[in-house]
Structure 1
Amino acid sequence: MAQNNGYPARGLWRRSGWSWVDLLVGAALLALLYGLLRLAPGLNARFLPSTAPTQVSTDPANLPYYAVRSLLRMFAGLAASVLFTFVYATAAARMRRLEKVLLPILDILQSVPVLGFLSVTVTAFINLFPGSELGLECASIFAVFTAMAWNMTFAFYYALISQPRELDEAARVMRLTKWQRFWRLDVPSGMIPLVWNGMMSFGGAWFFLAASESISVLKHQYALPGIGSYTAAAIADGNLGEVGIAIAVMVVMVIGVNVLFWRPMTAWCERFRVEESSAVERPRSIVLDLLRRSSVPHLIGTPLRPVGRALDKAARPFGLAEHPLTRPVTRERAGDVFFGGAVSVLIAYGAWEAFHYVQSTVGLGEFGRALWLGALTFGRVTLLVAVASVVWVPIGVWIGMNPKVTRFAQPVVQVLASFPANFVFPFATAAFVALGISLDFGAILLMALGAQWYILFNVIAGAQAIPTDLREAMTSFRIGGRLRWTKFILPAIFPAYVTGGITAAGGAWNASIVAEVVAYGHHNLTADGLGAYITQATAAGDFPRILVGISVMSLYVVVVNRLFWRRLYRLAETRFAL
């Protein structure tokens, strides 16, 4: 893998004593630790569900504290999502029998809206930490996790199954253990799509921040200090001025996160690009430059190296990272039959219990109504993905294949994608009311504000991942116009587009729970659709209808993924993998 990142070796930067860069990095690290210590008591504050506040204060003076609390939840959810991605995606990519079960489960998890998870997990987390706000914090972080993890897992899974065969053979020749292969081959080869999709997932999680901090579930209302709950309270009060202040704080926070975290990450992951010739211009980050010049990261990492060596030794008894090219056919078929039969029995038992519960409460006829509402939402999702593909694929290719354009366009795209679109829903609601636009059509626009960026980000990442030598070859042969698009660009970005398409569709289904029911002051607009059905059932504490809505939404997503997106995945894996 290309390791030349255009910077001098670390030793050339290091001088005797502490430089101003070391002092700056050390001060930033101490400030971060101090902030975490100051926040810790608030996370474990006394909490009683019966007396818990249902709305936070809308005093703008509290916004800095709320913003920091929200940021802490976001990064905790991101850390949990990365850990889940490494375990789940690796198991699905490396274990053939588990793959047949794990991928459909991932489809279902992606289709379950945030409110669906909250309706089940809030009470459980509160009971896990009785009398402490930590339980509600965990429920909120889990909601953020569910908004991030699935997209990142899909991206890392595809990176694993599309690894070049030469790298797989090199891992066997060097006799790497499973642990060594994961950290020296799997993670580096999947780092670029993981970072880009992590950035997109982080931005998508902002979309559900209000729902995860101002929780209305099972006839109970809970509010955690955070910018999302502040915005929800301002919207409920119908105060556009306070909503505007929250938007301004969010813009500052989103730009700060992108400058201090995501921009350095996207520049750093360029070192893992696989190509024979280096790119003319690579992403740069002032923050990353300062960290590379500082001795602080080296001082922190040195004590951890013996831990890494110990883990390498501990992993050797588990065998080498070899995947036999041939397997006993009869044994494999027998194992598949047994494994598939066991899973089918469990699924059938769970489905029977769910159907019996629904029949004894609201009746099976409720599924018919939910299926019809699901068809309406499915139409919105389909139209959204089609229009977003036509609009954003050319723009994403233009940004990704032009380094000079990327330099100024990428930060703008990151800010737009990271900004929680539902913060502007009150203004959209006022516009819909003034113009007489039905939310049945307006919901498509609101859903697009949160879902379209998955396509754009993945196309940009796919275009940037095209090896420089292939681009130079196309230029040398003077291939342009329609031929360049059909024979080079579209096939090259096709795998990334499929990942973006499937996650955009899943994000649109999830966004329907907040886009099909919007409110501002005394204005309440509702669209006919499955998202509105689940939202209303969750607010009313109607668990049978929550179960019906989530089951139908999962059915739609799984069927579409099986019949359409998974076939495109296989096509990308067999014909268009670089």
Structure 2
Amino acid sequence: MLQRTFARSLVTVRTWPFVIDLSVGLCALAVFMAVVHMATYWMGSAVPVSPISQNARSLPVYALYSVMRIGIAYVLSLIFAVAYGYIAAHNTRVEAWMIAVLDILQSIPVLSFLPPVLLAMIALVPHHQLGIELGVILLIFTGQVWNLAFSFYSSVKSIPREMIEASRIYRYSAWQRFWQLEMPYAAIGLVWNSIVSVANGWFALMACEMFPLNGTNFQLPGLGSYIQTATYSGDTRALLSGIAAIVLIVVATDQLIWRPLIAWSEKFKFEQVEAADHVTSPILTLLQRSALITTLSNRVWASIEEPIYRRLARTRECRVVQPIDLETGKQRASIGYWVVGVFFAIAITWGAIQCALMLRHVTLSDLRMLLAGAAATFLRVNVALLISALWTVPVGVAIGFNPKLARVVQPVAQVLASVPATAFFPILLIGLLKIGGGLGIGSVALMLLGTQWYILFNVIAGAMSIPSDLREAASLYRFTRWQRWTKLILPGIFPYLITGMVTASGGAWNASVFAEYANIQGRTIQTIGLGAQIQSASADGRFPILLMATVMISLMVVTMNRLVWRRMYRLAETRYKLEG
């Protein structure tokens, strides 16, 4: 009996790594084949209007197209967000301008970017499907990138002072400080905001795969166009099939990607006392046991990484030994700033002139209509933010403090967040119309579907980042519930909450395009608001109206940024910054 048990355990030990390696290899092969298939499709002739089949057998191919678009847009978003946030956090000369620009861009609806981005990409690659696909990917990018940039920026600005001083004492280079301090400290926030970004990618997908532009109805094969076609035709069976496909993809993504990343990012938590409960992931455990991944990491990655660090070390030694001409360095930096500044000044001036020429066609009656719409949408956005914060803060803190609860609730929340809110719009609108509510009030509920997840996931990340030793100290000193919230929880999550509120505000402005204007079974339903005016102007090719509506959104966002959000960020950096 003992020999049989020993033999069985020996076979299991030998078999499992092989099964894991085989699974990893098959996944890599599947990704490679998907890339080849997409490349073949993209290099084909341009087809702006593809027929969309409502047959469920088409769903796997449509799912592949949509997932690849969102995946590529996410990778581009992550790279851009880290670079943008890094520059804004380290360069005080341009920090205020960069954050103001970020506030404006993240609040501009996707449809405002649609005409210039898509037409520019088609002009660059006119004869291949690649031009249209690049335009769609960049549009999805505009719906994913901003909260990632805000997350990285706020994380870098909230790094404890003693950790920054330690990096200076140990003479870290800029690369070492970035890779060994800033990226690890920002990891938890980036992971949770990545979940939100991909969820918002699905939201943007509904607008980017099927849309009217200047009299042409663009249709690209994908789940977004599949669901929109089902909505317009009233095909409930196809609509539910499309939503089910997205839910399956989201659940698979949660188990295979997000849960392992959340468990992995726990090691970057800043605390002196180790938490009793940890987020675990069976997939991460299996990957850590993979002999193939271990071999690639030890031999391939190490052989690439070691020369880089060796070169950086030599460069660092040279900097220590050799004297540095500070005046020459300052002169070069000053010249560089002047060159970049002149380039952007010329570009901004040219763009402003072109915009002014276009805005001449906006009449006084158009302006009155846009002002009324701006007031209505501004009110809806702020009501949606308030309602979102009231329920997401307590729920997010409960999830972040309890890993067992997080294992149950987080996948459900991610599924609900990732299913495009626009997929639920037809059902919600039909119900509202039956009870006589209309879009005037119902648009707030529709905005909530696209904004509340920003705050929830940021609050979860903030609660998870609160060190366990501080929570233990609060328990030892027998804090009351009020004291725990005012002295520990709210100060601890404050930087993350502000990031969530800012990005949720942008999400609300984006959602206004769909919340205030809808087509159901061939019937157009709309209410007064900038979102409805933007969608109507984009469909009809009235670009002056589209531009004026976008300018109004930008002005309102800049005003809110200067009066509210900038002060909140300053408060987060000075009063509510975690110090060891």
CA displacement at 1:304 relative to structure 2: 3.0
Structure 2 equivalent of residue 126 of structure 1: 122
On the 8 A contact 2:20/2:286 being kept in 1, the answer is: yes
Tell me, in whole angstroms, the C-alpha distance in 2 between the residues paired with 1:113 and 1:203: 16
User: Where do 5+ consecutive residues of structure 1 fail to align?
Assistant: 1-12, 322-326
Alignment map for 1:41-190 (pairs within 5 Å): 41-48=40-47, 52-53=48-49, 55-190=51-186
What is the alpha-carbon root mean square deviation over aligned residues?
2.8
Query: Which shows bigger deviation, 150-159 or 110-119?
Result: 110-119
Alignment map for 1:255-270 (pairs within 5 Å): 255-270=251-266
CA displacement at 1:73 relative to structure 2: 0.8
CA shift digits 1:268-306 (9 cap, x unpaired): 111111111111111111111110010222233332333
State which of 272, 278, 284 in structure 1 corresponds to 2:274: 278
Q: 1:320 to 1:515 in 2, by over 3 A?
A: farther
Aligned residues between the structures: 555
SS of residue paired to 1:267: helix
CA displacement at 1:29 relative to structure 2: 2.2
On the 8 A contact 2:359/2:548 being kept in 1, the answer is: no
On the 8 A contact 1:357/1:544 being kept in 2, the answer is: no
CA shift digits 1:375-414 (9 cap, x unpaired): 1101001101111111111111111112222221111111
CA shift digits 1:47-82 (9 cap, x unpaired): 15xxx4254222211011101111111111110011
CA displacement at 1:370 relative to structure 2: 2.0
On the 8 A contact 1:216/1:222 being kept in 2, the answer is: yes
SS of residue paired to 2:437: coil
Tell me, in whole angstroms, the C-alpha distance in 1 between the residues paired with 2:557 and 2:343: 20
On the 8 A contact 2:106/2:146 being kept in 1, the answer is: yes
Structure 2 equivalent of residue 572 of structure 1: 572
Q: 1:546 to 1:391 in 2, by over 3 A?
A: same
Alignment map for 1:242-261 (pairs within 5 Å): 242-261=238-257
2:194 partner letter: G
Q: 1:36 to 1:113 in 2, by over 3 A?
A: same
Structure 1 equivalent of residue 406 of structure 2: 406
CA displacement at 1:351 relative to structure 2: 7.3
User: Where do 5+ consecutive residues of structure 2 fail to align?
Assistant: 1-11, 321-325
Tell me, in whole angstroms, the C-alpha distance in 2 between the residues paired with 1:18 and 1:391: 44
Is 1:307 aligned with 2:307? no
Structure 2 equivalent of residue 9 of structure 1: none
CA displacement at 1:365 relative to structure 2: 6.1
Structure 1 equivalent of residue 446 of structure 2: 446
Tell me, in whole angstroms, the C-alpha distance in 2 between the residues paired with 1:367 and 1:269: 49
2:86 partner letter: T
Structure 2 equivalent of residue 40 of structure 1: 39
Q: 1:343 to 1:93 in 2, by over 3 A?
A: farther
CA displacement at 1:425 relative to structure 2: 1.1
Tell me, in whole angstroms, the C-alpha distance in 2 between the residues paired with 1:214 and 1:189: 39
CA displacement at 1:350 relative to structure 2: 5.4
SS of residue paired to 1:524: strand
Tell me, in whole angstroms, the C-alpha distance in 2 between the residues paired with 1:409 and 1:45: 43
On the 8 A contact 1:113/1:509 being kept in 2, the answer is: yes
> Percent identity among equivalent residues?
39
Tell me, in whole angstroms, the C-alpha distance in 2 between the residues paired with 1:510 and 1:17: 47
CA shift digits 1:527-565 (9 cap, x unpaired): 110011111111111111111111111111121122101
2:463 partner letter: A
Tell me, in whole angstroms, the C-alpha distance in 1 between the residues paired with 2:394 and 2:45: 52
Normalised to the residue count of structure 2, the TM-score between the two structures is 0.90
Structure 1 equivalent of residue 323 of structure 2: none
CA displacement at 1:23 relative to structure 2: 2.4
Structure 1 equivalent of residue 231 of structure 2: 235
Is 1:196 aligned with 2:192? yes
CA displacement at 1:484 relative to structure 2: 1.8
State which of 197, 221, 224 in structure 2 corresponds to 1:225: 221
Tell me, in whole angstroms, the C-alpha distance in 2 between the residues paired with 1:367 and 1:178: 49
Query: Which shows bigger deviation, 535-544 or 338-347?
Result: 338-347
CA displacement at 1:159 relative to structure 2: 0.5
Tell me, in whole angstroms, the C-alpha distance in 2 between the residues paired with 1:295 and 1:216: 51
Structure 2 equivalent of residue 31 of structure 1: 30
On the 8 A contact 1:189/1:272 being kept in 2, the answer is: yes
On the 8 A contact 2:20/2:290 being kept in 1, the answer is: yes
Tell me, in whole angstroms, the C-alpha distance in 2 between the residues paired with 1:340 and 1:209: 34
CA shift digits 1:78-124 (9 cap, x unpaired): 10011101211101011111212211111121122111111111111
Normalised to the residue count of structure 1, the TM-score between the two structures is 0.90
Tell me, in whole angstroms, the C-alpha distance in 2 between the residues paired with 1:442 and 1:244: 22
CA displacement at 1:133 relative to structure 2: 0.7
Structure 1 equivalent of residue 496 of structure 2: 496
Q: 1:241 to 1:18 in 2, by over 3 A?
A: closer
SS of residue paired to 1:519: strand
1:387 partner letter: I
CA shift digits 1:398-454 (9 cap, x unpaired): 111122222211111111111111111111121122111120111110111011111
Structure 1 equivalent of residue 538 of structure 2: 538
Tell me, in whole angstroms, the C-alpha distance in 2 between the residues paired with 1:275 and 1:476: 17
1:158 partner letter: S
